[in-house]
């Protein structure tokens, strides 16, 4: 099981982006850099499209995060990096995976078919995202330092491809994993009113996922770096946090795109550095 991770510094937000196609001016590729996940990029009609990116500065990245991707169970995502040019001759990564989708039928284990990301025998229809919003996290297996990259989306069961946010970041992962006792809750912000007769009226709103946890054994270097991130990020810059960064149902319901609601470093004992945090999902 992989350790839980934070994706803080999204290098894709400062990259120069270009898409193979766009459905319209309100669904432009620049929407992938907008903090609001509902301002999505949508491709033109077709079963395949891609997004090219050129980083403003070469820094190491280890993961790709795709928020609210609309691919079905037969869709694929291909990630490529080059050091010389887009589509160049010096490639340093070429990886193809399937999207992480929430499989609603919980009567059987969610094995997701063969392979790490798998296709699985779940049919070709698009999966309803329900209230468990989908985030696909793709680990590269190593840190990649290259300025030029392309993400290709293919889905023979769909007529266009769509994504709300694209994250390229070097994961923050601690030597000692998340402590027992972490929590997840659905925050219901439905507006409730009661009439004089006592009847209830409800204006339903989407639920937000709140994740909270503790890392009880940070090294001194981890403590120092995390303190700096807490200062830099505050409670206004978005990030991705995942308790289980894996292509399973438990991964999807324990991964959020949101912001730090709280975070603090303590020193509860000699040689012990601890982090307590809460992340609240953005809608």
pLDDT tens digit string along 16-34?
Answer: 999 999 998 999 999 999 9
Q: Which residue has the higher pLDDT, 116 or 143?
A: 143
Give the helix ranges, DSSP H, for 234-276.
249-252
Nearest-5° Cα angle at 269, 268 to 275: 40
- Rounded mean pLDDT of the chain? 86
Answer whether 83's CB lies under 8 Å from 90's CB.
yes
| pLDDT confidence of residue 200 | 83
Residue 211 tokens read as: 């994740």
Q: Flag whether pLDDT at 205 surpasses 80.
A: no
For residue 43, the SS3 value is coil
Q: CB count, 10 Å around CB of 76? A: 17
Mean pLDDT of 264-281: 91
- Rounded to whole angstroms, the Cα distance separating 259 from 238 reads 5
Task: Quote the pTM value.
Answer: 0.85
- Rounded to whole angstroms, the Cα distance separating 215 from 145 reads 29
| pLDDT confidence of residue 108 | 34
Q: Flag whether pLDDT at 261 surpasses 80.
A: yes
Q: Flag whether pLDDT at 236 surpasses 90.
A: no
For residue 225, the SS3 value is helix
Answer whether 77's CB lies under 8 Å from 127's CB.
no
* Pick from 40-44, 100-104, 223-227, 252-256: least confident: 100-104
| pLDDT confidence of residue 278 | 95
Highest mean pLDDT among 110-114, 123-127, 235-239: 235-239
Mean pLDDT of 60-67: 95
Query: Facing residues of 279 across strands?
Result: 211, 260
Answer whether 282's CB lies under 8 Å from 238's CB.
yes
Widest CA span in the chain: 74
* Pick from 61-75, 186-200, 233-247: least confident: 186-200
With residue 228 as reference, give the H or E element that holds it. helix 220-233
- Rounded to whole angstroms, the Cα distance separating 247 from 137 reads 8
Residue 28 tokens read as: 């432009």
| pLDDT confidence of residue 73 | 84
| pLDDT confidence of residue 128 | 40
For residue 194, the SS3 value is strand
| pLDDT confidence of residue 126 | 36
Q: Flag whether pLDDT at 204 surpasses 80.
A: no
Residue 258 half-sphere exposure toward CB, CA atoms < 13 A: 22
Phi and psi of 52, rounded to 5°?
-95, 145
């Amino acid at each position: 099981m992989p350790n839980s991770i934070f994706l803080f510094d999204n290098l894709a937000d400062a990259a120069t982006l270009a898409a193979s196609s766009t459905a319209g001016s309100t669904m432009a590729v620049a929407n992938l850099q907008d903090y609001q996940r509902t301002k999505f990029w949508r491709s033109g009609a077709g079963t395949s499209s891609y997004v090219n990116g050129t980083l403003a500065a070469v820094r190491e990245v280890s993961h790709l995060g795709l928020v609210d991707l609309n691919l079905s169970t037969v869709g694929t995502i291909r990630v490529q990096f080059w050091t010389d040019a887009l589509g160049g001759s010096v490639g340093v990564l070429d990886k193809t995976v399937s999207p992480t989708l929430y499989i609603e039928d919980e009567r059987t284990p969610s094995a997701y078919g063969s392979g790490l990301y798998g296709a699985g025998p779940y049919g070709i229809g698009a999966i309803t995202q329900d209230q468990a919003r989908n985030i696909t996290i793709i680990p590269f297996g190593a840190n990649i330092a290259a300025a030029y990259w392309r993400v290709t989306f293919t889905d023979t069961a769909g007529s266009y491809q769509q994504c709300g946010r694209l994250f390229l970041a070097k994961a923050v992962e601690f030597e000692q994993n998340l402590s027992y006792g972490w929590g997840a809750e659905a925050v219901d912000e439905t507006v409730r009113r009661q009439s004089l007769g006592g009847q209830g009226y409800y204006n339903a709103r989407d639920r937000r996922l709140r994740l909270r946890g503790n890392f009880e054994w940070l090294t001194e270097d981890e403590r120092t770096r995390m303190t700096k991130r807490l200062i830099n990020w505050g409670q206004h810059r978005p990030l991705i946090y995942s308790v289980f960064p894996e292509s399973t149902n438990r991964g999807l319901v324990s991964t959020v795109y949101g912001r730090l609601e709280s975070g603090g470093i303590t020193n509860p004992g000699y040689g012990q550095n601890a982090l307590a945090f809460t992340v609240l999902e953005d809608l």
